[in-house]
Amino acid sequence: MTTLAVKKNDMAFCPGCSHGMVLEHLSAALDRMKLTPTDVCIVSDIGCIGISDRYLDSHTFHGLHGRSITYAEGIKRARPDLTVVVLIGDGGCGIGTAHLVHSARRGADITVIVCNNFNFGMTGGQHSATTPVCAQTPTTPNGATDYPFDVCQTVGANGASYVGRFTAFDKDLPQRLETAIRTPGFSLLDTWELCVAYYTERNPLNRKTLSELSDSMELPLGELYNRPRPPHPAEPASRSAISKTTEPSNNRAPITLSWPRRTEFCVAGSAGQRILSAVGVIGKLAVAGGLHAAQSDDFPITVSRGHSVSNLILSDKPIFYTGVDNPELLLVLTEDGVRRVKLWERLSPHALVLAETSLNLPDTPAQIERINCKTAEKLVGKPSAALALLSYAIVRGQWLDENRFRAIAEAGIRGKYREDNLKAIDAGINLAHTGFESA
C-alpha cells in the first residue's frame, strides 16, 4: 500500500523541482518493503521538502528547522516498531549538523534522506552548507568561496551503518532506500537534486551535469558505507509520575477502564493554571487503565503569559489522527481561553461547554453550563483547580463512573504531586454531587 497520497504533479513544488521525485522513490521503497502507512513515520522540518508531510498518508511529524533528526530518534526510541525516515534539506542539514553527528554516533536506527539542492530554496536560493565552490547565489554574488560540507563522510566517520550519495534521477533509488532502511543503525542518503526556481537559474546544473559536479567537488556518487551494526538498544520508556499499568502492590487485579469510542476534550484557560498538567494527569490515568490517549497543547512561546489550551483524545482503539475537531467537552476557564478557541460555531449540539461563570461566550449550538473557578480554587488551591474542574467535568458528563475514577487515580498516580492530584480529583468528583454553590 503506497504512502503517497497525491501524484507528483499535484504537489506544490515548482514544476521541475526534484522533491516530488524523491517522494515517489521513497513511496516505491516503502511499497517494496510492503510497509503499510501505519508502519512508517516520516519526519520533516522547514524548507520546501518540509511540506512533504501533507503528501504522505503515513504517520508524520513536522518540527523546527534542522531538528528533524532529534524528533526521529526520539520517535524511534519510543516506537521501535516504526520505520522512521527523515526528509531534510541541505539547509536543515547545516543548521542541525550536530544532530547528524551524534545520531550517527549513537547508531540511531533511522534513515535520513538529505534532499540536497545546494541552496535554501524556500527562502530565495541563499547559499547553504553544501553549496559548491564558485556557485552563484543571492548571498554569494561573486561565487561561493567555502568548501561544501561533506555530509556523507561526516556521518560515516561517526559510525553510520549505511551511507550513499545519489541523485534524484537515479532509477535504482528505491532499492538504495530499501537497503538503507533495512540496514540496522543510522543510514543516510545524500540525494542530489535540482532547485529549478533558484539554483539552476544561476548555475549551469542539470540532471546530466550532476555527475560532473561530483567529480569537480571530489564528492563521489554511489554507495560509500555499508557496514550494518546493531541498532541502539531501545531504552525503556521514561518513568512517569503515573505508572504505565496499574500494578497494585496489594495483588489486586489491574484496573481497566472501558470506553465506548474516540472522545475529544478541550480545556482552555491561561498560563499558570496548570492546564497542561491537569490534562496530562487524566491522559496518563486513561493509559494506566488500558485506554489510548493523545494530548496536544497550545500556548504562546512566552510560556508564562497568555492562553493555555490542552486537547485530549481518549479511545479504546489506537489513535492515528490526533487533531481535535469536534470536542465533546469544552472546559473554558478564562477570557484567554475563550479567545483562543475557534470552534464555537462548529460544536455539536450534544457537546458540553463548561464555562467559568463570569465569561462572555460566543454563540454556539453546544449545551452550556456555568462553573465557578473560584470555588475550585478555594477547595484545592489555584494550582490544582484545573484538575479538580476537569475531574468534575468528566463525572458530570458521565464519561467515567466516579468509583472507577477514584480507583484508577488511587492506583495509578505516583510521584511528588500524588497527594495534591488525588485531592483535586476527589474535590472535582464531590463537586459533581454538591454543585458549586454549596461547596
Q: Closer CB to Mg ion, residue 95 or residue 286?
A: 95
Q: Does 136 bind Mg ion (CB under 5 A)?
A: no
Among 42, 197, 373, 388, binds ligand SF4 (CB under 6 A): 197
H or E stretch covering 285: helix 275-288
State the binding partner of 90 from Mg ion, ligand SF4, none, CB within 5 to 8 A by kind: Mg ion
DSSP annotation of 146: S
Written as nine digits, the cell of 103 is 545520531
Q: Does 177 bind ligand SF4 (CB under 6 A)?
A: no
Q: How far is CA 67 from CA 89, 187, 298, in A?
A: 11, 17, 20
Q: Closer CB to Mg ion, residue 89 or residue 428?
A: 89
Q: Does 190 bind Mg ion (CB under 5 A)?
A: no
Among 43, 93, 108, 196, binds ligand SF4 (CB under 6 A): 196
Written as nine digits, the cell of 436 is 458549586
H or E stretch covering 29: helix 19-32
Q: Residues binding ligand SF4: what is the number (CB under 6 A)? A: 12
Written as nine digits, the cell of 394 is 468528566
H or E stretch covering 418: helix 418-434
Among 44, 103, 117, 391, binds Mg ion (CB under 5 A): 117
Whether 229 and 186 have beta carbons less than 8 Å apart is answered as no
Q: Closer CB to ligand SF4, residue 14 or residue 361?
A: 14
H or E stretch covering 379: helix 373-380
CA angle 168, 95, 6 (to 5 degrees): 40
Whether 402 and 432 have beta carbons less than 8 Å apart is answered as yes
Which x/- pattern over 33-72 shows residues binding ligand SF4 (rule: CB under 6 A)? ---------------x------------------------
State the binding partner of 196 from ligand SF4, Mg ion, none, CB within 5 to 8 A by kind: ligand SF4
232-250 core/surface letters (b: 16 or more CB in 10 A; e: else): beeeeeeeebbbeebeeee
Q: Which of residues 89-118 bind ligand SF4 (CB under 6 A)?
A: 117
Cβ 48 to ligand SF4 shortest distance, Å: 3
DSSP 3-state of 412:
helix
Binding span for ligand SF4 by CB under 6 A among 13-21, 244-252, 278-286, 293-301:
13-21
Q: Does 293 bind ligand SF4 (CB under 6 A)?
A: no
Whether 327 and 346 have beta carbons less than 8 Å apart is answered as no
Which x/- pattern over 88-107 shows residues binding Mg ion (rule: CB under 5 A)? -xx-----------------
* Residues forming the site for ligand SF4 (CB under 6 A): 13-14, 17, 19, 48, 117, 121-122, 195-198
* Residues forming the site for Mg ion (CB under 5 A): 89-90, 117, 121
